[in-house]
C-alpha cells in the first residue's frame, strides 16, 4: 500500500464532490468506492462496449466485474439492444403487461426443467423475498434456514451488512446453517420441527471477501431430501450464477432440484429484470402473495431477456465463459508462481474468485487490484469476478500480462 493519499482524476473528483453534497455517501450500496479501492478504482462510468468500459475521465478498463454480473454477453450488445429498441418504440411501461410477459414466462418454463410457472420483478432481492413469502404462504410456517455468510439481497428476513436500520425482530425467524455441513441442517430442522417454511441456498457458496466453495457431494441433494420429507420449500438463490453455469439454471450443473429458483443477473444483459420459477405445487400460493412494483411489467427488459436467453443458448455462451475463465485463472496462477506467490482461484471458472493463499487481511489483494486498475484491468478485490461472452483470448491474455506485472510489484513490496 502506498503511504499517501491517492489523487482522484479531475472529473471523478468533481463529480464525487458534487455527489456527496446531494447523495448520502456520494455513491451508496455495492457501488460505493469504499467497497473497492478508493482513490484508485473508477467511480463513475461513461460508456462501455463488449468487455471494456471507460470512466468519466476516459480511463479504459477490461471489465472483469461485468456490472456485478448482469453483463453476460458483453456491454452494449447489438442484438439485445435491437430487441429492446424495437419494444421501446412500441411502448415499454403500459397499463398492462405486453405479449413479451407471456412469451418470457413460456420460455423459462421450457428452459428450466422443473418449472411450471414464472414471475418477474426487477432485482434479485424482489425474487428472493417473494419466494420466501410463497414458502410461508404454502406451508403456513414462519422460519427460514439459510447458509451462514451467504448474501441473499436486502430483505428484512436476511441480515445484511451492519446493524443500521435493523431491529432484532426483523430476523427472529431466520437461522443459519453451515455450508457443506448437512448435520447443521438436520440439527436446525429437528430443533424447529414443523416450523420451517423454507431452506434457501445458493448453488455454490460465494461469501463476500472469501473464497467460493463448491457443494460437497450429496450436500444439496440431501437438502432436497430433507425438504421433501419435512414439507419444507427448497428455494435456490441462483441470482448470481443463474444461466452462467447451465442454460437451464445452476441446479442442473450440480444435479439437484429445488422447488423454486430465483434468477436475475444474467437474464437480460443489463436490462432491469429478475425472475423466479417454481413447481406447480406452489402456483396457487404464488398467485396469492401480493408482490409488485411500478416497473415490474415493463416490456422492454422482457424483450431484451428473450433475446439474451436465446443468444446464451445459440452461441453456447456457458462453454465460452468456462473456457475464458479457465484461461484467466490458469494464467493468473502461473503468473503469480513466477514470483513465488500462490493464488487460489475458487468457484466456477465463469465466476472466479481469486485470493492470495494464506492471506486473511486483503492487503496483497488490494495492492494487486490497485496495480491492475491503474493499468487498465478491473479486478474487484473482494467480490467474485465475472467473465462475459465478449471476452476473447486476446483480452484475457492482455489482462494476464498486466496481472503479471502486478504480481511482481506485490511480491516485492507487500510483506506476506
Partner 1 sequence: MDTPSKDHILCRLHLNAVLFALEDLVAVVPEAKQILSEESFSIAFTTCSKLKSAVKFKDGKCEFIGAKDAPGAIKILYLSERHLNRTFTQKGFTLPLLTSGFFKLKQLIVFKRLSTLLNKYLQPDANSLEETTFRSKHLKILLGLMLAAIKELSENEPFSRDLLESTPDGLAFFTIRDDDISGWIQWREGKVNYGKGDPPYPPDVRIVFEDSAIALAAFHNKIINMAEIGLGRLRIEGDTAFAEKLGWISERISFYLENGRP
What residues line the site for partner 1 (CB under 8 A)? 1, 5-8, 16-17, 20, 24-28, 32-35, 38-39, 43, 161-163, 209, 360-363, 366, 382, 415
**Which residues, at least 6 apart from 31, have a Cβ–Cβ distance to it below 8 Å?**
none
- CA nearest to 279, candidates 229, 218, 234: 234
**Nearer residue to partner 1 within complex by CB, 9 or 97:** 9
Report how far apart, in Å, the C-alpha atoms of 227 and of each of 188, 217, 218 are. 12, 17, 14
**Nearer residue to partner 1 within complex by CB, 43 or 368:** 43
74: exposed, middle or buried (Cβ count in 10 Å: 0-12, 13-18, 19+):
buried
**Nearer residue to partner 1 within complex by CB, 1 or 102:** 1
Q: In angstroms, give the least distance from the CB of 208 to partner 1.
A: 8
Q: In angstroms, give the least distance from the CB of 198 to partner 1.
A: 23
Q: In angstroms, give the least distance from the CB of 220 to partner 1.
A: 25
**Nearer residue to partner 1 within complex by CB, 2 or 217:** 2
Nearest-5° angle of CA 229, CA 226, CA 210? 165
**Nearer residue to partner 1 within complex by CB, 109 or 362:** 362
Q: In angstroms, give the least distance from the CB of 23 to partner 1.
A: 9
Q: In angstroms, give the least distance from the CB of 8 to partner 1.
A: 7
**Nearer residue to partner 1 within complex by CB, 59 or 313:** 59
- Alpha carbon 359 to chain centroid, angstroms: 24
Q: In angstroms, give the least distance from the CB of 3 to partner 1.
A: 8
- In b/e form, how buried is each residue of 223-235, taking b as 16+ CB within 10 angstroms? bbebbeeeebbbb
Q: In angstroms, give the least distance from the CB of 24 to partner 1.
A: 6
**Nearer residue to partner 1 within complex by CB, 45 or 362:** 362
Cell numbers standing for residue 76: 452494449
- Alpha carbon 112 to chain centroid, angstroms: 19
Amino acid at each position: 500500500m502506498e503511504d499517501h493519499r491517492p489523487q482522484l482524476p479531475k472529473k471523478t473528483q468533481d463529480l464525487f464532490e458534487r455527489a456527496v453534497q446531494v447523495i448520502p455517501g456520494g455513491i451508496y450500496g455495492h457501488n460505493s468506492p469504499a467497497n473497492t479501492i478508493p482513490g484508485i478504482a473508477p467511480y463513475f462510468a461513461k460508456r462501455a462496449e463488449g468487455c471494456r468500459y471507460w470512466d468519466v475521465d476516459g480511463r479504459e478498463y477490461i471489465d472483469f466485474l461485468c456490472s456485478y454480473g448482469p453483463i453476460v454477453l458483453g456491454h452494449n450488445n447489438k442484438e439485445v439492444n435491437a430487441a429492446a429498441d424495437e419494444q421501446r418504440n412500441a411502448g415499454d411501461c403500459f397499463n398492462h403487461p405486453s405479449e413479451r410477459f407471456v412469451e418470457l414466462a413460456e420460455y423459462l418454463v421450457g428452459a428450466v426443467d422443473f418449472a411450471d410457472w414464472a414471475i418477474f420483478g426487477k432485482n434479485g432481492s424482489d425474487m428472493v423475498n417473494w419466494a420466501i413469502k410463497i414458502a410461508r404462504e404454502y406451508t403456513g410456517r414462519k422460519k427460514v434456514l439459510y447458509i451462514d455468510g451467504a448474501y441473499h439481497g436486502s430483505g428484512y428476513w436476511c441480515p445484511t451488512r451492519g446493524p443500521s436500520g435493523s431491529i432484532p425482530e426483523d430476523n427472529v425467524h431466520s437461522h443459519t446453517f453451515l455450508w457443506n455441513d448437512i448435520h447443521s441442517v438436520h440439527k436446525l430442522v429437528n430443533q424447529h420441527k414443523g416450523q420451517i417454511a423454507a431452506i434457501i441456498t445458493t448453488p455454490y457458496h460465494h461469501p463476500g471477501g472469501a473464497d467460493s466453495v463448491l457443494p460437497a457431494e450429496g450436500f444439496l441433494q440431501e437438502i432436497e431430501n430433507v425438504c421433501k420429507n419435512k414439507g419444507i420449500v427448497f428455494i435456490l438463490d441462483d441470482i448470481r450464477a443463474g444461466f452462467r453455469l447451465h442454460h437451464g439454471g445452476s441446479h442442473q450443473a450440480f444435479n439437484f432440484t429445488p422447488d423454486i429458483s430465483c434468477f436475475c443477473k444474467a437474464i437480460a444483459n443489463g436490462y432491469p429484470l429478475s425472475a423466479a420459477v417454481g413447481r406447480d405445487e406452489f402456483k396457487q400460493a404464488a398467485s396469492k402473495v401480493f408482490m409488485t412494483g411500478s416497473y415490474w411489467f415493463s416490456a422492454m427488459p422482457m424483450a431484451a431477456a428473450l433475446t439474451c436467453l436465446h443468444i446464451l443458448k445459440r452461441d453456447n455462451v456457458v462453454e465460452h465463459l468456462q473456457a475464458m475463465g479457465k484461461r484467466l485463472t490458469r494464467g493468473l496462477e502461473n503468473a503469480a508462481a513466477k514470483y513465488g506467490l500462490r493464488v487460489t482461484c475458487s468457484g466456477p471458472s465463469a465466476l472466479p474468485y481469486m485470493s492470495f493463499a494464506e492471506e486473511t487481511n486483503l492487503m496483497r489483494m488490494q495492492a494487486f487490484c490497485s496495480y491492475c486498475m491503474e493499468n487498465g484491468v478491473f479486478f474487484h478485490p473482494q467480490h467474485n469476478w465475472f467473465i462475459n461472452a465478449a471476452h476473447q483470448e486476446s483480452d484475457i491474455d492482455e489482462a494476464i500480462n498486466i496481472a503479471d506485472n502486478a504480481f511482481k510489484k506485490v511480491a516485492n513490496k507487500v510483506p506476506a
